[in-house]
């Protein structure tokens, strides 16, 4: 943490002013009508399409700089935009506009014996700080999710996407300039000074209510270590799929293959496969063969390596690794209790699925596991706000407080109690 001694006073003053302006904007945005917010969102989608050439040109600058710095592979791919990605961003914002307004929902209402009428009503959280890495689409997605949920936001993206993010924020600023919403509803930090992240984690003198980190393990770890304001963290997804002895073989093959191989780079992809020892040489081998033929590397325990030629030995580390790649760790277990124990010991409380036709085993698995999402006979890759019918999400929460699982616009709200009386006093 920074102390007054090593503060850069200019950064500090500027960030403090930014915090105050955003806090003021949040007061206005909190009470904006659904129409106002949705009009701004649709205008933003249109503006992104209209500014596509400018955004792509800024993106080429970032990509060229990244290439010159030796960046390649997945990071470069995450950074690179094209027409279809800009269209996907714009369409995503229109989808958010179509969602019901999460603010003002009456979550509960009851009357007390003394006549007091009590309602719990959804309200925006306030000012959300979003700290993210190289994906520039987060700039548009996060701004849209925050606007819809009535929250002002301060965005701090990775320095490698600074030009692209700046161009996307120019579009946002242009739209806010022609609505009745304050421009500071969506602030973007253009300086790449690393000290700024520390300032945000400190809450900018009370201006920030919540920090959402979106990025890799080391970013999330820094945020959790340093933050002095609440954090909604999206940790890794070490998702398990468990093939129970009473699994339907066809379902097992299809669900395991889809959970691992549909897209290997998402947090809902399965990373560990548990197979009941009783069926290892029957359904187990079929499942492994299917994965192997699809190009997946199999890292097995002793029992798995003994029965499946294509497997390489797993180390202890494999049970705790989020590969985000075509690799799976496979272990033989002795029934549902053993599977539960393994998951509780090695998992990250994200998403786990059991494949079985045995209702009792399934319900035990669903009830005993303390993960954000537990599934029965379904692919772990359904762990997604859109697939849940909740609309766009800012991530999958793995913490236990406030929001777990997909974090969409409803999860970006809090609530207050509204009490209506007729003169009641407390005895």
Q: Does 418 bind a copy of itself (CB under 8 A)?
A: yes
Q: Does 324 bind a copy of itself (CB under 8 A)?
A: no
Q: Does 411 bind a copy of itself (CB under 8 A)?
A: no
Helices 83-98 & 34-50 angle (0-180, nearest 10): 170
Structure-token match 């915090």, residue found: 19
Between residues 79 and 204, which has the closer beta carbon with respect to a copy of itself?
204
Instruction: Give the CA distances from residue 325 to residues 100, 154, 312, 321, 330, in Å, rounded to whole numbers and listed in that order.
Output: 36, 32, 16, 11, 15
* Closest approach of a copy of itself to the CB of residue 243, in Å: 13
Segment 289 to 318, residues that bind a copy of itself, using CB under 8 A:
none
Q: Does 34 bind a copy of itself (CB under 8 A)?
A: no
Residue 221 CA, chain-centre distance (Å), reads 15
Taking residues 112 to 151 in sequence order and writing x for each that binds a copy of itself by CB under 8 A, - otherwise, the string is x---x-x----x-xx-------------------------
Between residues 53 and 250, which has the closer beta carbon with respect to a copy of itself?
250
Question: Which of residues 329, 378, 392, 409 is near a copy of itself by CB under 8 A?
Answer: 378
* Rounded Cα distance, 337 and 404, in Å: 24
The piece of 7-15, 67-75, 320-328, 415-423 that touches a copy of itself (CB under 8 A) is: 415-423
* Closest approach of a copy of itself to the CB of residue 313, in Å: 28
CA 334-250-367 angle, to 5 degrees, is 45
> Read out DSSP for 158-197?
-GGGHHHHHHHHHHHHHHHHTSSS-GGGEEE-----THHH
Segment 250 to 289, residues that bind a copy of itself, using CB under 8 A:
250-251, 254-255, 257-259, 262
Question: Which of residues 17, 27, 67, 177 is near a copy of itself by CB under 8 A?
Answer: 27
* Closest approach of a copy of itself to the CB of residue 300, in Å: 23
Quick one: 84 exposed, middle or buried, by C-beta within 10 A (0-12, 13-18, 19+)? exposed
* Rounded Cα distance, 355 and 260, in Å: 14
- Strand 186-188, strand 152-156: pairing: parallel
* Closest approach of a copy of itself to the CB of residue 151, in Å: 10
Longest dimension (CA), the chain: 79
Structure-token match 């002095």, residue found: 228
Terminal CA-CA length for the chain: 49
Between residues 293 and 370, which has the closer beta carbon with respect to a copy of itself?
370
Q: How many CB atoms lie within 10 A of CB 225?
A: 9
Segment 207 to 226, residues that bind a copy of itself, using CB under 8 A:
209-210, 224-225
CA 154-11-143 angle, to 5 degrees, is 10
Chain residues in the site for a copy of itself (CB under 8 A): 27, 30-31, 110, 112, 116, 118, 123, 125-126, 209-210, 224-225, 228, 230, 232, 248, 250-251, 254-255, 257-259, 262, 344, 362, 366-368, 370-379, 381-382, 387-389, 399-402, 404-405, 414-426
């Amino acid at each position: 943490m920074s102390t007054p001694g090593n503060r850069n006073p200019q950064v500090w003053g500027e960030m403090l002013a930014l915090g105050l302006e955003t806090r003021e904007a949040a007061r206005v945005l909190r009470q904006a009508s659904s129409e106002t917010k949705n009009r701004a969102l649709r205008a933003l989608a249109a503006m992104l399409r209209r500014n596509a050439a400018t955004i792509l040109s800024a993106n080429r600058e970032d990509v060229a700089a990244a290439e010159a710095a030796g960046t390649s592979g997945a990071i470069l791919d995450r950074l690179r935009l094209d027409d279809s990605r800009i269209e996907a961003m714009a369409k995503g914002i229109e989808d958010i506009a179509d969602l019901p307004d999460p603010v003002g929902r009456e979550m509960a209402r009851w009357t007390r014996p003394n006549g007091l009428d009590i309602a719990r009503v959804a309200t925006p959280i306030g000012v959300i700080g979003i700290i993210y890495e190289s994906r520039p689409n987060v700039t548009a997605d996060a701004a849209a999710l925050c606007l819809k949920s009535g929250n002002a936001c301060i965005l701090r993206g990775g320095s490698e996407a600074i030009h692209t993010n700046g161009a996307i924020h120019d579009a946002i600023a242009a739209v806010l300039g022609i609505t009745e919403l304050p421009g500071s509803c969506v602030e973007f930090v253009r300086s790449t000074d690393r000290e700024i992240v520390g300032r945000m984690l400190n809450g900018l003198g009370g201006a920030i209510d919540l920090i959402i980190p979106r990025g890799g393990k080391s970013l999330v770890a820094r945020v959790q270590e340093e933050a002095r304001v609440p954090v909604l963290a999206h940790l890794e997804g070490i998702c398990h799929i468990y093939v129970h002895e009473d699994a339907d073989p066809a379902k097992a093959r299809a669900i395991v293959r889809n959970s691992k191989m549909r897209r290997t780079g998402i947090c809902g992809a399965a990373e560990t496969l548990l197979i009941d020892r009783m069926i290892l040489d029957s359904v187990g081998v079929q499942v492994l063969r299917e994965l192997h033929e699809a190009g997946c590397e199999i890292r097995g325990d002793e029992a798995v390596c003994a029965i499946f030629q294509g497997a390489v030995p797993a180390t202890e580390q494999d049970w705790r690794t989020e590969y985000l790649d075509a690799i799976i760790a496979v272990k033989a277990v002795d029934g549902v209790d053993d599977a539960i124990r393994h998951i509780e010991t090695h998992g990250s409380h994200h998403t786990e699925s059991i494949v079985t036709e045995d209702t009792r085993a399934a319900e035990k698995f669903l009830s005993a596991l303390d993960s954000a999402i537990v599934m029965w006979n379904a692919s772990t890759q359904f762990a997604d706000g859109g697939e849940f019918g909740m609309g766009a999400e800012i991530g999958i929460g793995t913490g236990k407080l406030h929001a777990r699982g997909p974090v969409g616009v409803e999860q970006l709200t809090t609530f207050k109690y509204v009490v209506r009386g007729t003169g009641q006093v407390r005895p």
